[in-house]
Structure 1
């Protein structure tokens, strides 16, 4: 991945629940406008908006619908039971997700019986008693069809580590797609793994160790690539810890031991230590390392995605 000074990625296509962009598509004629999605991140992405309920012709305002569990079957009905859109929503969702293979991520609306990623209320049939065990109809079809696609709920993006993790996966997912679209080769797979070494270490040292042997003896490139990518995205879904970041930073620090002066070594060590203690954000030692990358010729470290996994303007490394 290019150095951050010249990193201007093409806009990635992101799917998003239509109501989050201020569109008045909710049952009451309102919306769930997200300032963060509309103002903060929109310049970096191209949105594909979806509202399953509007798409099947329910209109707005309309009767609110809920998930109702009857044994192993989940129905989508109005609270008064006079409207059942189970079949329509399932058929639409099944067809729609087949059109979305170009997406690099998806932002869903929480709690929605169609778009909720998790903890959607399921009501026991014939009662108003519910448990938060459901998944939105459309969201479920989406995640089943594209299990490796980065998916997150808008509300959870206010949790800074979750936000950073989501967008790290979005840019890595897009990087993989661009590589595969240009044609897979053994060399490309090895290069990809090499560039992501330290990012994988920060998220999961175990997965980093497990992924290497997959590429050690490649017989079938396509099959190996699929196996690798499944593990790769699974690893990145793990939230990187302060402990793992510290270990990763110290590994990278070792590449500069011959170039740095005693004062520079002390400065870098101190910034890593203070990050480990929670006194500095990750951005501080990363910025210092990027400075040394520019000052000294270290091609292997310069190519590491870990140092610049997403545009600096997204402000994602201030969280921890």
Structure 2
């Protein structure tokens, strides 16, 4: 049984894809990097990074001419900015498909991409037309990545400065790793039911509708082939976690947890817990406050179901991701 106070030491084998420039490799067009201190200082102790630079991967030099996405009636192309007759689209598409296929063989649990890059950007990448530029594109490499691995948590380096987006992304990474560890090389319906049970409160916080839908799906697990269900559940589960847990949903889950202590807590303790939850709901306290009190009560009044719930500890406390939520 996974405990709310899980030791994450073993999770250092978690493999994360990353744009090479974000991890400090000097592979950009100007021979520079785009080093993320959050990645190199705070995430590095927990993850094993697999760095990829699509431009270098297709043989472009460092330094190199700048490139951009251009659109005509037929397609979006990757060309050099100053000489659009030099077209890198075909070789970049081929490389992306080959590289992503290679990554699907690894137990990849997340991917951090370089924002606004014509190869690696996840969203709002500039696409040029004769009429001007729009910010509606996706980098060619990342587009292939997200289509071939739609369950994979993908986030841009710049968006990781937002505490809510950051916490959501890291939570998804650890959840996917937990899924792989739980299911192992031989997924069975029993393993999936056990995994789902530990994430019930997490799903309630992220997306109540998906919580109900996934519960109904798990109830029909016997109707599916094990491998088929494995792939379907993984996709639906990870898509549900993409929805960021709102303060309202978190507060509802906290009140749900309080119900498990109904017979254990004194009137004063119940009042104290409710007050802390209400102050969190109002935005006066961070999520860490009611969770800390709940963990304290769990040491006094153990409950096997609650102690198994990943909602209480979705990632290592050392990352301090719930301090400002």
TM-score, normalised relative to structure 1: 0.96
> 1:104 & 1:212 partners in 2: Cα distance?
23
**Change in 2 beyond 3 A, CA 1:219/1:240:** same
Name structure 1 gaps, 5 residues minimum. none
Q: CA deviation at 1:5?
A: 5.6
Q: 1:18 aligns with which of 17, 20, 32?
A: 20
- The answer on 1:88 being equivalent to 2:94 is no
| Corresponding position: 1:225 with 2:230 | yes
Instruction: Determine if the alignment matches structure 1 residue 280 to structure 2 residue 282.
Output: no
- How far off its partner does 1:28 sit? 1.0
Q: Secondary structure of the equivalent of 2:249? A: helix
Partner of 1:3: 4
Paired with 1:73 and 1:235, the residues of 2 have a C-alpha distance of 32
1:183 aligns with 2:186: yes
Among residues 67, 70, 87, which one is paired with 1:68 in the alignment? 70
Equivalent residue number for residue 307 of structure 1 = 312
> What's the offset of the Cα at 1:245?
0.4
Mapped contact 1:117–1:135 kept (Cα < 8 A): yes
Tell me if structure 2 keeps the 8 A contact 1:214–1:224: no
1:168 equivalent in structure 2: 171
Structure 2: how far apart are the matches of 1:47 and 1:230?
23
Give, in whole Å, the separation in 2 of the partners of 1:283 and 1:89.
44
Q: What's the counterpart of residue 51 of structure 1?
A: 53
CA 1:271/1:120 → structure 2, altered by over 3 Å: closer, same or farther?
Answer: same
Name the SS of the counterpart of 1:212 in structure 2: helix
- State the aligned residue count: 318
Q: 2 CA distance for matches of 1:202 and 1:186?
A: 24
Among 310, 316, 322, the alignment partner of 1:317 is 322
Q: Are residues 5 and 214 of structure 1, via their aligned partners in 2, closer, same or farther at CA, if it must alter by over 3 Å? A: closer
The CA deviation string for residues 197-223 of structure 1, in whole angstroms up to 9 with x for no partner, is 100000011111111111223222333
1:265 to 252, 256, 270: 270
Give TM-score, length-normalised by structure 2: 0.94
Alpha-carbon distance in 1 for matches of 2:175, 2:188: 18
Q: Determine the structure 2 residue equivalent to 1:205.
A: 208
Cα separation, 1, equivalents of 2:188 and 2:172 = 22
- Cα 1:69–1:216, aligned 2, differ >3 Å: closer, same or farther? same
Deviation of 1:261 after TM superposition, in Å, equals: 1.5
Question: 1:247 is matched with which residue: 246, 252, 276?
Answer: 252
